[in-house]
Structure 1
Amino acid sequence: MQESAIKRWALHIFLAATLAFMLAPILIVVVNSFNASAFNAWPPHGFTLDWYRKVLANPAFQRGTVNSLIIGVISTAIVLVLGTPIAYALARIRLRGVTGLKAILFAPLIVPRVAIGFAMFVLFVALGTATGLRLYGTFTGVILAHCVLMLPFVVAILTVSFGEVDPIVEEAARDLGASPIAAFRLAVLPQIKGALLVSGIFAFITSFDEVETTLFVVRPAVNTLPVEMYHFLEQYQDPTIAALSTLLIAFTFFIALAVPFAVKGNELLRMMTSGKQ
């Protein structure tokens, strides 16, 4: 018993140390956002809110935030519309060559995003030269690039969820006279709404935070917030970025914690805690 208690306490200490190690960078950023020093001196020399005022008054950050929200919402909607039928097909239909299809579909998960960004840049410029189609430096081009990055995550999450839905429910709806689309909408979609919400949140955060690929396909007029932060760091080294990062951390926690509770009360929370789909 004593040896078991020692092991349990050792495990708790190890987990606490691991958690502290993972949270330390975030805590340092948050503390530094109130640093009175203009040169990120550590430990902080005082307390100030000037950096937050500077963030909120910066036109580039304002424009980048609006652009990121527009691009994130549109690209999330697109990947959900495209990813849902793809995931359904992968979970329900057995086709030859599906392994090759999955390799192409999930390639963005393993290819460096810098390489994807450069490939997108070359593709957009080539298309513009050959056909006159303007994608480089436009909202459409950035949204397309983000969709390529986000689609594998959405498909992976939804494929697992579709695999857990009993096909008998859909077959029963078909036997009762529902069309294939109606059976899917009425019998299948309600059972994966939690997965749709989770994948949508994950896709939006991925788009909002994307910088490596975006750098290759934007122009100043459509710069996203992470790109504006990158350019700001090239010129300044004060705690302004720490203040903005703190606001983004709070924004991310708000999305992750508040949105699930907005789905029919606590239905999603009950689903997660009960382990039922």
Structure 2
Amino acid sequence: MRAGQSRSIRIGYTAFSMAVIGFIVLPLIFIVWMSFYSNKILSFPPEGYTLDWYRRAWALSDFRNGFFLSLRTSLIATVVALCLGLPASFALVRGRFWGRETVSTVLMSPMVVPGIVGGSALFVFFLEVEFLTGWRVAGTSLGLIVAHSLIALPWMIRLVTTSLISVNPSIEEAARSLGAAPLTVFFRITLPVIKPGLIAGSLFAFINSFIDLEKSIFLVGPDSTTLQIALINYLEWNFDSTIGAVATVQIALITVLLLITDRYAKLSRAF
């Protein structure tokens, strides 16, 4: 290949990569920019800039309560996913049992099943539970936590499993042969190696739970609305920069979480 052709390919590849990055990033930049418009109704160009939309978003109880509900639910779902996902990952990586691939597929299925389908299926299942036992689950905090735990669990298993595969079992066997107890081997050898996967799994489990709309829309109660549903309800009757302010806060929160996580556990090592 000639030098000129190679240079043209590099330039074309760079231009294509920049176009893809721009396609992803520019909408986010526009949302942040829009959140500072002073226009009463969204329009372009902006008449001026203000921070009033952020104050208005916090003053609205639907957004404020929805934020705290989403935050609480996502944190609990992440803890549940960690408690279930860590032993499940060990079983999938270290275990040798019949149907292991099937179990892995079932545990990963919430990632591939459309959210609307999963949410409606859970709603019907909860109704059946209520019909058979009289125990109301749909529309309660418990039902919402169960649904969000199912959202978080595959991310936890996927990233922890990836980290576990990189652990050399012979190192653990050497520690056990020298008299180390199983818990000592786990906390002193295995856990430090898989820590990036645990942190990254917890991060992505939290984020995907926090931003979920499809499953939540079937399972929230009249007095418990997540932030994403509050956004949809607000857009039904309003079209101003309050939406941009709420979205900007979410973008900032997720960005900070990514930066903090990458500071203590390089995400590139977890994938």
TM-score normalised by L of structure 2 = 0.92
CA distance in 1, matches of 2:205, 2:111: 13
Q: Which residue matches 1:131?
A: 133
CA distance in 2, matches of 1:178, 1:149: 36
Aligned length: 269
How do 1:1-277 and structure 2 match up within 5 A? 1-261=3-263, 263=264, 268-269=265-266, 272=268
Deviations 1:18-38 (CA, angstroms, capped at 9, x unpaired): 211211211221121122222
1:149 offset after TM fit, Å?
1.6
- Would the aligned equivalents of 1:91 and 1:160 in 2 still touch at CA under 8 Å? no
Q: Which runs of 5+ in 2 are unaligned?
A: none
Tell me which moved more, 58-67 or 183-192. Answer: 183-192
Deviations 1:48-72 (CA, angstroms, capped at 9, x unpaired): 2221121121111111111111111
CA distance in 1, matches of 2:4, 2:118: 55
CA distance in 2, matches of 1:41, 1:199: 40
1:276 offset after TM fit, Å?
9.9
Amino acid at match of 2:99: G
CA distance in 1, matches of 2:81, 2:256: 22
1:182 offset after TM fit, Å?
3.3
- Would the aligned equivalents of 2:163 and 2:270 in 1 still touch at CA under 8 Å? no
Aligned-residue identity in percent: 35
TM-score normalised by L of structure 1 = 0.90
CA distance in 1, matches of 2:123, 2:188: 41
- Would the aligned equivalents of 2:200 and 2:261 in 1 still touch at CA under 8 Å? no
Amino acid at match of 2:126: F
* Runs of 4+ residues deviating >4 angstroms: none
1:241 offset after TM fit, Å?
0.6
1:165 offset after TM fit, Å?
0.1
Distance 1:128 1:184, change over 3 A: same
SS in 2 for 1:37: coil
Q: Which runs of 5+ in 1 are unaligned?
A: none
- Would the aligned equivalents of 2:200 and 2:270 in 1 still touch at CA under 8 Å? no
